[in-house]
Structure 1
Amino acid sequence: MHITHILIPAVEEAVRTIFGVTAPKLEFQNTRKDFEGDVTLVIFPLLKEIKGNPVAIGTQLGTYLQENVALVSKFNVVSGFLNLVIDDSYYIQFLQSIYTQKAYGFKDSSASEKAVMVEYSSPNTNKPLHLGHIRNNLLGYSVAEICKASGKKVYKTQIINDRGIHICKSMVAWQKFGNSKTPESAGFKGDKWVGNFYVAFDKQYKTEINTLMQEGFSEEEAKKKAPIMLEAQQMLLDWEAGKPEVIQLWKTMNQWVYDGFNQTYANLGVNFDSLYYESDTYLLGKEVVQLGLEKGIFEKDPDGSVWIDLTSDGLDRKIVLRSDGTAVYMTQDIGTAIQRVKDFPDVGGMVYTVGNEQDYHFKVLFLILKKLGFDWADHLYHLSYGMVELPSGKMKSREGTVVDADDLMEEMTQTAAKISQELGKLDGLSEDEKQKLYKIIGLGALKYFMLKVDPKKSMLFNPEESVDFAGNTGPFIQYTYARIQSILRKADFDFSQPDVTPPVLHPKEKELIKLLEAFPGVIQNAAQAYSPALIANYTYDLVKEYNSFYQAVPILPELNADLKKFRVQLSYKVGEVIASSFSLLGIEVPNRM
């Protein structure tokens, strides 16, 4: 129970008793560091019901609380803020109450009536995963874990874009330049092997365009007449017609890519509960268009195309079916959303992890689904995130200048090794232990750096900066966790039971316990905001406070046995919450560093 759960009814009773009115919604916040107090009641909202001077009102309420609530030991009023000092006994009892809770802060998700489906990754099968996919996967996976910890049942999914002209480009290029080699025979990871041919296609396409332009064609004409593009377009038609040899090549090359993706996902530490494929879903939604026409939600133009007019909703007219009867991406997304609820009937909402260039698309999609009458459409959310850039600038897939996800993870491991060796952080460990740690530190640095930034913001990713062992970084937090584990190993007594009650708390102990108390609320806020950044920055605040505590008071050198045990127990619980927080971000914590 958070202290505000005790204070809210007490303040409401005080307002009724002193002023004879019902209190409006109460606003509490943490007391600012430069004032004495633990919890602050903001007086200004009360002025809607209580006329008078905020300082006088705060003083009357503070006096009442001090006299009637045993846990309120002191108070002071600054302007319109009532700062309350909470007795140490509350925080000591609180720590004891959570000490043996292994999943403290997490709610049981099995009792949730409605599930949420979180979609992320959703790559194309013509190239390997890159830096942008890393942010996408880390955000989606972390949001899913946070929602689960908040008490929701969660399904993780992706839709794999496995059809279309971009896929056929890689297929044509492999036929031309692959010499019948497979990833195994060529010594390549499958997705990288296929991605090379996507780049090769673009290179050949540009060469053919230049040749045609030299023959007198305009650039626009050359783009249409380039032989390799005509071959790719014909291959798409053959795929749609089900030509056996094209389907077989498509299946073979896609499997190469899936094998590669699975390696990357395993290294990144993300997973999925279900997979959808565009080749299965691209026809979905067409029957829904007919239903929408009958209901008057959609309208047919003279050329036979079907549209929805959203101008009255501040959007525009959107096509949902072409004049030749073929579906567009919007139609497919409508059908896929409906199919997912059929496949998972307990789904009551969905989260789409997709870059902010698709903001408008999802506004239209969600509005159409609402107009079609699906009640779950009120619980759809676009987890819109900004692009990731490196100090070297933007990436382009066709030109082969993307930052490959596997290469980046390997670079992070090497960077962690280099910095660790320079700092002498891992002296005394075996080479095998060091290699495992380099990966944990490197990936932890990558994930934390990506997730500490608000998802909506674009970001510049600097690998060297992310592996700094000081400041708001993953390695700094991991190092503090390892420091706590070292203390626990050195403790020569049993600290498994919370059986020690110090008469008074050191201010640093109290601040730490207050931060532990906030953890469940941070999980709930992060789940509501779909923001792993709230978890990341909470963990950093907790670690900063712990390091301040570590510097300010003796722990193992403490001569008082009971006080020593209490501080070790407090350290133990802080370590557990760090590990829990990082698990929500998909980050491992090492026992030694």
Structure 2
Amino acid sequence: MEIKKQIQDKITQVIQQQYQLENVVLEVQQNKTNFEGDFTVVMFPLVKQARKSPDILGAELGEALMVAEDYIVSYQVVKGFLNLSLHNDFFIHQLQQLGNHLGQLPKRQETIMVEYSSPNTNKPLHLGHVRNNLLGYSVAQILQAAGYNVIKTQIINDRGIHICKSMLAWQKFGNGETPESTGLKGDKFIGNYYVKFDQEYKKQIGELKAQGLAEEEAKKQAPILQEAQKMLLAWEQGDEQVRHLWMMMNGWVYQGFDETYTRMGVDFHQRQYESQTYLLGKDLIQEGLEKGVFFQKEDTSVWVDLTDEGLDQKLLLRADGTSVYITQDLGTAVERFKKNDIQQLIYTVGNEQDYHFQVLFLILKKMGYSWAEDLHHLSYGMVELPQGKMKSREGTVVDADDLMQEMYLTAKEKAQELGKMELLSHEEKEQSYETVGLGALKYYILKIDPRKKILFNPAESIDFNGNTGPFIQYTYARIQSLLKKSEYEDKILSIEYQLNTFEKELFLVIAQFNEVITKAAEALSPAQVANYVYDLVKSYNSFYQNNPILNQDDEQARQLRLKLSKVTGDIIQKSLRLLGIGTVDRM
């Protein structure tokens, strides 16, 4: 049910018939003015081509629409705007037809791959990863609801000097302890050794500086760094002991990651590992050299010149033949399109990598890959706390697990303070605290446009009033309670019932749901869904406060208002699912 599209398609048809004009689309919007009418049409785009005033065009179009569609009962032309009023029974009929199709658009043929998370195996997931995962997962959900086939993927950065730092620190200082022996999650366990390495590294730099070395030289000569570099070389050469240690420690990390993903409520269809992809791309570099897309310097390093495109020269292969990050990314992109029947690839990565992806996409275009036009960087702003930025090496990051636990505890404290959930069993309360706490976190992050930076305040996000997850979840629970008390059954609605202003306004917000999903998918923005469901909840609460339901003597009114409540609840639940947020039936 998309009333606006139905009207818009009919207007386009009338314009073609009456003015012989093709490809003229007039925008139809819900009428929010004080003038009469349910929908308004802006006439100005038609003026130049039809060579008539907007008021004359509005009158002609209004008359033609009334003849063509019996659901349009009247029209009014005001200052170049055509306001259309629809028959009351049209709304009743549309409301009667509402069902499971809401929030599920027609199936498309395209498959889109969405990459998100992509962590390093030397530390646990932190607040920055939380925004990345929530954003990538929600975009995947929205695209799927919009009719696309979706493949959720991640590439895990499981090799490199940063991994060797954790491995070396464990060898030196671990005394054989394990996550099991310490009671720590595997990713936290490894992360502690990454911090330990940095502490020892700084200590050695200080000692070398005290011996007279300049700081830059001290950083290079610190024994622990040189040992880590030797370990990386041994890994690349396939040293059996180093590889065994690497597999064992990464195994600990993966187990920890999976626990975090499960609690966060995100998942993946595919996983790639940098250890298996870092050599990809070298053949592409050779191919680019042969085609003249790249060039080689005297030291045999390979570069691409992007100065004509307003960028710079970019290193693709070092003089010693080793690859850089973009080499791997080139190979991985080609591999993904080769192994999957995908039409688009979306990278969910922070805005500090904007330039990297600009270069990556441009190189692939120069290489002649037609699908390079269908690569998208979903760039998002950083998440900061009131006390500022986080630093992994110094151990000052906000751990994702700790944050989720804090959200659960904050929800519990707030619910007890407000007297919410008192009638629930212990198990129901615990599940509700978890659902509300994580819902608050997810909604707070996803309601903001992805491009904007977030200053995250956990306490502010858990409020049962205002534009928050708990407020929306509470409205859903109130609706479920209402439906249960009424012993609601879906019955035929009376077309004789006259909708009042609050009922019609709520219905018109409901009618926007599929359009919101389409626009959110086009913009890759969960914020559009979040702000829509907030508007829906506000409209429902206004309707609820001004229209008695259970103590309503008029059975026609009672049944229609229950139907509006049922559909609103369904859309709230579906909207929250698109954001990865759960609901509770009682609060």
TM-score of the pair, normalised by structure 1: 0.96
CA distance 1:409–1:23, change in 2 (3 Å):
closer
Q: State the partner residue of 1:272.
A: 268
Shift of the alpha carbon at 1:25? 2.1
Q: State the partner residue of 1:541.
A: 535
Mapped pair 1:350 → 2:345: yes
Does the 8 A contact of 2:12 with 2:25 survive in 1? no
2:185 to 189, 194, 197: 189
Task: Determine the C-alpha separation between the residues in 2 that align with 1:22 and 1:167.
Answer: 61
CA distance 1:170–1:74, change in 2 (3 Å):
same
Mapped pair 1:571 → 2:569: no
Task: Determine the C-alpha separation between the residues in 2 that align with 1:499 and 1:173.
Answer: 71
Task: Determine the C-alpha separation between the residues in 2 that align with 1:170 and 1:439.
Answer: 33
Mapped pair 1:404 → 2:399: yes
Shift of the alpha carbon at 1:68? 4.5
Match of 1:354, SS state, is strand
After the TM superposition, which of the residue ranges 40-49 and 72-81 deviates more from structure 2? 72-81
Shift of the alpha carbon at 1:513? 1.5
CA distance 1:153–1:13, change in 2 (3 Å):
closer
Match of 2:378, SS state, is strand
Does the 8 A contact of 2:480 with 2:569 survive in 1? yes
1:126 to 122, 126, 131: 122
Task: Determine the C-alpha separation between the residues in 2 that align with 1:10 and 1:336.
Answer: 46
Does the 8 A contact of 2:479 with 2:566 survive in 1? yes
Q: State the partner residue of 1:58.
A: 58
Q: State the partner residue of 1:363.
A: 358
- Structure 1 runs not aligned, ≥5 long: none
Match of 1:353, SS state, is strand
Shift of the alpha carbon at 1:13? 5.3
Match of 1:318, SS state, is strand
Spell out the pairing of 1:159-558 with structure 2 (5 A cutoff): 159-344=155-340, 346-492=341-487, 494-558=488-552
CA distance 1:208–1:34, change in 2 (3 Å):
farther
Match of 1:129, SS state, is coil
After the TM superposition, which of the residue ranges 270-279 and 20-29 deviates more from structure 2? 20-29
Match of 1:347, SS state, is coil
Report the residue type matching 1:148 in the other structure: Q
Q: State the partner residue of 2:100.
A: 102
CA distance 1:397–1:539, change in 2 (3 Å):
same
Does the 8 A contact of 1:498 with 1:569 survive in 2? no
CA distance 1:68–1:282, change in 2 (3 Å):
closer
CA distance 1:246–1:7, change in 2 (3 Å):
same
Q: State the partner residue of 2:139.
A: 143
Q: Deviations for 1:397-432, whole angstroms, at most 9, x for unmatched residues?
A: 000000000000000001101111111111222222
After the TM superposition, which of the residue ranges 298-307 and 440-449 deviates more from structure 2? 298-307
Q: Deviations for 1:223-250, whole angstroms, at most 9, x for unmatched residues?
A: 1111111111111111111111111111
May I ask how many residue pairs the two structures share in their alignment? 587
Does the 8 A contact of 1:501 with 1:566 survive in 2? no
- Structure 2 runs not aligned, ≥5 long: none
Does the 8 A contact of 1:502 with 1:566 survive in 2? no
Match of 1:304, SS state, is coil
Report the residue type matching 2:431 in the other structure: K
Q: State the partner residue of 2:27.
A: 27
Does the 8 A contact of 1:15 with 1:23 survive in 2? no
Match of 2:151, SS state, is strand
After the TM superposition, which of the residue ranges 474-483 and 320-329 deviates more from structure 2? 320-329
Shift of the alpha carbon at 1:180? 0.8
Report the residue type matching 2:130 in the other structure: I
Report the residue type matching 2:514 in the other structure: P
Spell out the pairing of 1:31-42 with structure 2 (5 A cutoff): 31-42=31-42
Shift of the alpha carbon at 1:69? 3.0
Report the residue type matching 1:51 in the other structure: R
Task: Determine the C-alpha separation between the residues in 2 that align with 1:350 and 1:68.
Answer: 43
Q: State the partner residue of 2:151.
A: 155
Does the 8 A contact of 1:202 with 1:398 survive in 2? yes
TM-score of the pair, normalised by structure 2: 0.97
Match of 2:512, SS state, is helix
